[in-house]
């Protein structure tokens, strides 16, 4: 007897992985850059930490609000599409069955088999069948605004906490060097993890994340130094 093991594909992790990586990456880059910029301007150690904590809170709330609005719009569109489909099913059930059968025929089924599959699926859950196969709305991928907002804020806060904690435990004169070094290390680990889970090249994932992070920190440090000289 042959036993088949379920296959594990990288795309199964893509949704949550992308959100978590983007949130944590934004948290590290924006907060580390803020800390470095304020420190480069010559601010006191306490002011640097206050700026970092404020950046953490503001960034997390911004991510939550942005994600909530974005996913709410997606959820509204899904509900509107489902309402239209529900009315069409009530108005002409047979036409909707033929439409679903045509979708399956286009995917490679024989017309007779496609008609049979459409009939059986609609007998079980007509709206669910059309939502999945006509509209592309899957239950596991349905928009959940509150969940998305909390997840995005949490990912950002975790990422932002890393440079803030790093800055809190080093002398003021070493803030820029230590925060930059540790933040780039955190970004490298994050990029490598995302690449590994996503099935991409490990070194490519590390390189692209650390490059943009280093660029952001360097530019912010330059701006901070400029303002420090001017004042």
Asked whether residue 7 is assigned to any structural domain, the reply reads no
Mean pLDDT check: name the lowest of 33-47, 89-103, 124-138. 124-138
Indicate the average pLDDT of the chain.
81
Asked whether residue 149 is assigned to any structural domain, the reply reads yes
Distance CA 33, CA 71 (A): 28
Average pLDDT over residues 181-204: 82
With cut-offs at 50, 70 and 90, classify the pLDDT of residue 57: very high
pTM: 0.71
Three-state SS annotation for the chain: CCCCCCCCCHHHHHHHHHHHHHHHHHHHHHHHHHHHHHHHCCCCHHHHHHHHHHHHHHHHHHHHHHHHHHHHHHHHHHHHHHHHHHHHHHHCHHHHHHHHHHHHHHCCCCHHHHHHHHHHHHHHHHHHHHHHHCCCCCHHHCCCHHHHHHHHHHHHHHHHHHHHHHHHCCCHHHHHHHHHHHHHHHHHHHHHHHHHHHCCCHHHHHHHHHHHHHHHHHHHHHHHHHHHHHC
180, pLDDT greater than 90: yes
Asked whether residue 140 is assigned to any structural domain, the reply reads yes
Alpha carbon 12 to its chain centroid, in Å, reads: 14
Asked whether residue 172 is assigned to any structural domain, the reply reads yes
Pair 135, 85: CB distance under 8 Å = yes
15, pLDDT greater than 60: no
Mean pLDDT check: name the lowest of 16-20, 49-53, 120-124, 201-205. 16-20
Which domain range does residue 212 map to?
20-230
Dihedral of CA atoms 102, 107, 109, 114 in degrees, nearest 10, equals -30
Q: Which residue has the higher pLDDT, 23 or 74?
A: 23
The pLDDT of residue 214 is 92
Asked whether residue 79 is assigned to any structural domain, the reply reads yes
Asked whether residue 144 is assigned to any structural domain, the reply reads yes
Query: pLDDT tens digits, residue range 162-172?
Result: 999 999 999 88
176, pLDDT greater than 80: yes
Distance CA 155, CA 26 (A): 9
Q: How distant, in Å, are the alpha carbons of 78, 86, 133 from that of 125?
A: 17, 12, 12
* Structural domains of the chain, count: 1
Q: Which residue has the higher pLDDT, 133 or 139?
A: 133
6, pLDDT greater than 50: no
Asked whether residue 177 is assigned to any structural domain, the reply reads yes
The pLDDT of residue 138 is 64
Q: How distant, in Å, are the alpha carbons of 11, 20, 37, 102, 159 from that of 17?
A: 10, 5, 29, 35, 14
141, pLDDT greater than 70: no
Instruction: Give the other-Cβ count within 10 Å of 197's Cβ.
Output: 16
């Amino acid at each position: 007897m042959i036993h088949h093991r379920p296959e594990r594909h990288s795309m199964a992790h893509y949704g949550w992985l992308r959100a978590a990586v983007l949130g944590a990456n934004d948290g590290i880059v924006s907060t580390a850059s803020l800390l470095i910029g304020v420190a480069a301007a010559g601010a006191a150690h306490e002011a640097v930490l206050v700026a970092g904590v404020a950046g953490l809170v503001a960034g997390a709330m911004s991510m939550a609000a942005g994600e909530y609005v974005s996913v709410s719009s997606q959820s509204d569109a899904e509900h509107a599409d489902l309402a239209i489909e529900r009315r069409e099913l009530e108005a002409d059930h047979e036409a909707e069955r033929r439409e679903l059968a045509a979708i399956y025929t286009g995917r490679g089924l024989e017309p007779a088999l496609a008609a049979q599959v459409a009939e059986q699926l609609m007998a079980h859950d007509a709206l669910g069948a059309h939502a999945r196969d006509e509209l592309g709305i899957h239950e596991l991928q349905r928009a959940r605004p509150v969940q998305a907002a909390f997840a995005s804020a949490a990912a950002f806060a975790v990422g932002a906490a890393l440079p803030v904690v790093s800055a809190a435990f080093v002398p003021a004169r070493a803030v820029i060097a230590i925060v930059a070094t540790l933040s780039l290390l955190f970004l490298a680990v994050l990029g490598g993890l995302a690449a590994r889970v996503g099935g991409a090249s490990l070194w490519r994932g590390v390189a692209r994340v650390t490059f943009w992070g280093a660029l952001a920190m360097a530019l912010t440090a330059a701006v901070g130094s400029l303002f420090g000289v001017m004042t």
